[in-house]
Amino acid sequence: MTLHFDPAARFPANAVSPEAITPVVAGVSFALILLAVLGWRFDIAAKVRLRRDRRRLRELADVALEGLLICQGDKIVTANTSVERLSGYEPGLLSGSFVSSLLPGLDVASLPEREEREVQLIDATGQPVPVRVLRQEVALGHKIQTVIAVRDQRERLRTEAQIRTLAFSDALTGLPNRTRFFDLLAVHAASRRERDQAFAVLMLDLDRFKLVNDTLGHPAGDLILAMVADRLSTTLREGDVVARLGGDEFAVLQLAAGDPEAAAALATRIVTTIEASPFMLDGQSIYLGASVGIAIAPNDGDDPAELMRNADLALYAAKADGKGVWRRYDVSLDDKVQERRTLEAGLRRALIEGQLELHYQPLMDARSGQITSAEALVRWNHPERGMIPPIEFIGLAEETGLILPLGDWVLRTACREAATWPKHISVAVNLSPVQFRERSLVANVSAALTAAKLPSERLELEITEGVLLTDEERTLATLTKLKACGVRISMDDFGTGYSSLSYLRKFPFDKIKIDQSFVRQIPQDPDSAAIVRAIITMGTCLGMSTTVEGVETLEQFDFSVAEGCDTIQGYHISRPLEPTALAAMLEAEAGNIGLVLAMPQQVPSGFADRAKALGHLV
């Protein structure tokens, strides 16, 4: 269609003239242009503000240690440095990508706000990274955007794994520890009930291991324990479990132990493996043994705690039978444990109720024939069982810690009773290794002497060689302090322990007591006679007196006197006496009445003959 101007055509008289409408159109056009410019300016300002807000948000996000993603729906608008570093992407590359590709399996829309979820982040190399995410809606400019916090979980998981390892593994050997072993035992006990499949629990303890710790130190002992763990692992079948319960105690869970012979065979292998060859440590051969206790489910128990207890009872029986053997649990062992518990409870009551008493075994001067001292020996006067010898309860006292109050009672009582004797008679008191390790020992000795008003030179403390093996520096300091108090120190049972001659040079001993195991064979056995003779000679050269213990015959007495020992102790002189009987003996000797006349029931005829021959007593 073509438009042509027709000059003959005229606008109606009432039409608006062009001159009138032109300014209106121009004004409207200008207003529209102005509105367009203003709208454009507002749009630019909004976009600048949005970019500024995003930049500020990213700057704030970059400060955060956690990774932050700013998203619109599934699309990532921007990401902070932390999440870029976590995912391995170059800066800016995550912008425009999708959340579902970075965090597969995460539905952002369905994730509740402020609720953490653990998911896998796929990094730039395609490897999964464990993370924890948290979603929050944030108003950004005129839009609502989603901020996803991403927290790296690798360090936490590593720490938790280490904690689990420490909680359930033995740090020294890498074996399962007691807690882990009990858990495994509980699992198999439950499954056994379902499948009716027997299994065995073996508890084992190393023989002579304490000697390693005492002589070579705990670091050496730790190395030996690691070697033991390796050997034990080689004795097991696949699926069996060995654990270290603590100290030198190990346990084995033997699965599918269908008959007792299988458990017995494993116990035999364990004993043989430990004893077969020495453990080499810095070129030194260390010989150990193993004792094993066995409990088989369900015959010996069906509960994990019961099985471990019964296997432990069997282990106790194996050690009591000479060590280096294995024993299976038997119901009779319960009676022995109950007896032991009863004995322990009774010993605690004995300390409180005054059922303990001291007997004294005299020591005679080999030259003059006179009594010069007496050794205090504790006895338990049980209200039902009568007199109980120390061999039945001293070991129990050491295991339970009762040896400390018991030893303190013996020390104080001996000092108090010795104070009533003639002034030239001294008293000897045995100190257990547990007592000797107490830092209050010197103070306790001083307090006992002060309370009894007994001169310190009349107290003799007897220690065994085993005391000297641990912490020589501290042992020397303790002995030196005791010597400074004025008491005398003797080495008891010399020759039965480690008998290092360096101990006699290092430590301030006044006396050596020759153990009766050598005396029993003299004078018939030339080797025993040579040993006793050598110890007496050595003591004389070192300026130490010597006591021969366990003299029971006239021949032993004659030999000891002839070889030059200083004092003699044993049944040939006198059995241990009650305080009143000892007092009567000392009174008789002091009054020159004679031991034979005063104590005919207590003094052996051999001693009487010898005393008469010496002409000192009768």
pLDDT of residue 64: 55
The answer on pLDDT for 361 being more than 90 is yes
Least confident of 394-403, 414-423, 569-578: 394-403
pLDDT of residue 600: 43
**Tokens linked to 243:** 């654990």
Q: Which of 5-14, 162-171, 547-556 has the highest mean pLDDT?
A: 547-556
Give one DSSP letter per residue of 257-309, joined into a string.
--SHHHHHHHHHHHHHHHHHSPEEETTEEE--EEEEEEEEETTT-SSHHHHHH
Residue type, 407: G
How confident is the model over 59-113, as pLDDT tens digits?
Answer: 555 545 678 888 888 888 888 888 888 899 988 888 889 988 899 888 887 888 8
Mean pLDDT in residue range 398-404: 81
Mean pLDDT in residue range 506-517: 84
Residues 6+ apart with CB under 8 A from 147: 68, 69, 70, 71, 135, 136, 137, 138
The answer on pLDDT for 136 being more than 60 is yes
Q: What share of the chain is helix, strand, coil (3-state, %, to 5)?
A: 50, 20, 30
Homologous superfamily of 47-156? PAS domain (3.30.450.20)
Domain ranges of the chain: 47-156, 169-330, 351-614
Topology of domain 351-614 in CATH is TIM Barrel (3.20.20)
Among residues of the chain, what percentage have pLDDT more than 70? 84
Q: Omega of the bond prior to 576 within 30 degrees of 0, cis? A: no
The answer on pLDDT for 611 being more than 60 is no
- What's the rounded Cα separation, in Å, for the pair 488 and 503? 16
What angle in degrees, to the nearest 10, is found between the helix axes of 218-234 and 260-276? 140
Are the C-beta atoms of residues 482 and 442 closer than 8 Å to each other? yes
Least confident of 316-320, 438-442, 548-552: 316-320
More confident residue, 329 or 335: 329
More confident residue, 64 or 338: 338
Residues 6+ apart with CB under 8 A from 176: 168, 169, 170, 184, 241, 242, 243, 244
Residue 84, strand partner residues: none
The answer on pLDDT for 561 being more than 60 is yes
pLDDT of residue 616: 36
The answer on pLDDT for 451 being more than 90 is yes
Mean pLDDT in residue range 554-570: 91
The answer on pLDDT for 8 being more than 60 is yes
Least confident of 277-286, 300-309, 392-401, 593-602: 593-602
pLDDT of residue 605: 40
pLDDT of residue 226: 92
pLDDT of residue 53: 63
What confidence category does residue 613 fall into, taking pLDDT thresholds of 50, 70 and 90?
Answer: very low
* Closest alpha carbon to 402 in 338, 456, 341, 348: 348
The answer on pLDDT for 252 being more than 90 is yes
The answer on pLDDT for 597 being more than 70 is no
Domains 47-156 and 169-330 share a fold: no
Give one DSSP letter per residue of 423-435, joined into a string.
TT-EEEEE--HHH
Mean pLDDT in residue range 446-460: 93
Work out the mean pLDDT of the chain and round it to a whole number.
82
More confident residue, 468 or 346: 346
pLDDT of residue 26: 76
C-alpha dihedral sign at 252, 257, 259, 265:
negative
More confident residue, 468 or 170: 170
Mean pLDDT in residue range 13-41: 74
- What's the rounded Cα separation, in Å, for the pair 481 and 94? 77
What confidence category does residue 496 fall into, taking pLDDT thresholds of 50, 70 and 90?
Answer: low
How confident is the model over 168-199, as pLDDT tens digits?
Answer: 788 888 899 888 899 888 888 887 666 667 88
More confident residue, 437 or 562: 562
Give one DSSP letter per residue of 568-597, joined into a string.
E-STTT---B-HHHHHHHHHHHHTT--HHH
* Residue 144, phi then psi, degrees to nearest 5: -95, 120
Give CA separation, 83 vs 78, 93, 116, in Å: 10, 11, 17
Least confident of 17-26, 268-277, 350-359: 17-26
CATH number of 169-330: 3.30.70.270
Least confident of 241-245, 293-297, 335-339, 375-379: 335-339
Q: Flag whether the pTM goes above 0.75.
A: no
Give one DSSP letter per residue of 78-142, joined into a string.
EE-HHHHHHHTPPTTSSTTSBHHHHSTT--TTTS-BT--EEEEEE-TTS-EEEEEEEEEEEEETT
